[in-house]
Amino acid sequence: MKLSRRKIFDEMGVSPYWVLRGAPEATVRFRKENTSFRDEMPESAEKRAPLPEMPVPDAAPESAAPMPRVPPTPPSPASSPEREDSRAGEIARMDWPQLRQSIAECRACGLCAKRKQAVPGVGDEHASWLFIGEGPGAEEDARGEPFVGQAGKLLDAMLDAIDLKRGENVYIANAVKCRPPGNRTPENAEMSICFPYLKRQIELISPKLIVLLGRAAVNSVLGIESALSSLRGKRLHYTEDEIEIPAIVTYHPAYLLRNLAEKAKAWEDMCRARELMNTLP
């Protein structure tokens, strides 16, 4: 059953909502109930303040200067730089079936030891939208699909708010494909070892826009370790080899479930992502 947009916002604790004048219906604004500026909201639509402009710098801001992707993977008897290079080279030549099989059988880092199964990703393999999270949790590990737990429900609602649907022009992936024990944040070394898979997914999908959900995804994909709040509203770029794809950052849905007050910001980010997508060729 498809929930109405109003119902979704109500359930998310985000209301009221309205449509930007002259903007597509999907371009909506959000306000968290009981925030101080709720009282300041003008009554008439004409008086409503416009959505703050999204700064669109051509490059990452100074505070977000690209850093080495992640600290180097500590050497272990099972891995050496040469071995990692040759593994990355093999992955870079894989097609979708080979990639899925390789991910399913991967034993390149310690996360394989406790997983039930690897979780490659889900959705349209030629999607314009690519959403990237952190790593599978318990439910994802059990079902083999990303974002199927509580955080996934919120992600689905966020997609719905900008007229997107899982699997329809949308692909959802994670920085690491195997569940970190206890749902801990993946370590840099784990994300680094898993990155060739994500990189190949990005190449094969060739999305128009990447939406990064949370700090781990930002770190894995952009190599930036700045606070998420300093990156929101900025138009960043994923740049690898010859590829350059715009990227937008927002809070991870699991973080939003714990920090309800930040939901309104995430909704704004989603609106900005939609607005940006509408301008992309």
Q: How far is the CB of 169 from ligand URA (least distance, A)?
A: 19
Beta bridge partners of residue 94, listed in sequence order: none
Q: How is residue 77 written in tokens?
A: 């008897």
Cα 79 from Cα 28, distance rounded (Å): 48
Q: Which is nearer to ligand URA, 26 or 157 (by Cβ)?
A: 157
Q: Which is nearer to ligand URA, 133 or 233 (by Cβ)?
A: 133
What amino acid is encoded at 84 in this protein? E
Q: How far is the CB of 166 from ligand URA (least distance, A)?
A: 12
Contact 175, 120 (CB under 8 A): no
Cα 163 from Cα 271, distance rounded (Å): 10
| H-state helical runs in the chain | 5-12, 81-92, 96-105, 138-143, 150-161, 188-205, 215-222, 228-231, 253-258, 263-279
Q: How far is the CB of 85 from ligand URA (least distance, A)?
A: 28
Cα 268 from Cα 272, distance rounded (Å): 6
Q: Which is nearer to ligand URA, 214 or 246 (by Cβ)?
A: 214
Query: Does 137 sit near ligand URA (CB under 6 A)?
Result: yes
Residue closest to ligand URA when measured from CB atoms: 133
Q: How is residue 206 written in tokens?
A: 């060739």
Query: Does 140 sit near ligand URA (CB under 6 A)?
Result: yes
Contacts to ligand URA from residues 246-275, by CB under 6 A: 254
Cα 72 from Cα 10, distance rounded (Å): 45
Choose, by CB under 6 A, the member of 120, 146, 186, 207 that binds ligand URA: 146
Site size for ligand URA (CB under 6 A) = 11
Q: Give the per-residue contact string, 69-108, with ligand URA (x = CB under 6 A; - = no).
A: ----------------------------------------
Query: Does 151 sit near ligand URA (CB under 6 A)?
Result: yes
Binding site residues, ligand URA, CB under 6 A: 133-137, 140, 146-147, 151, 174, 254
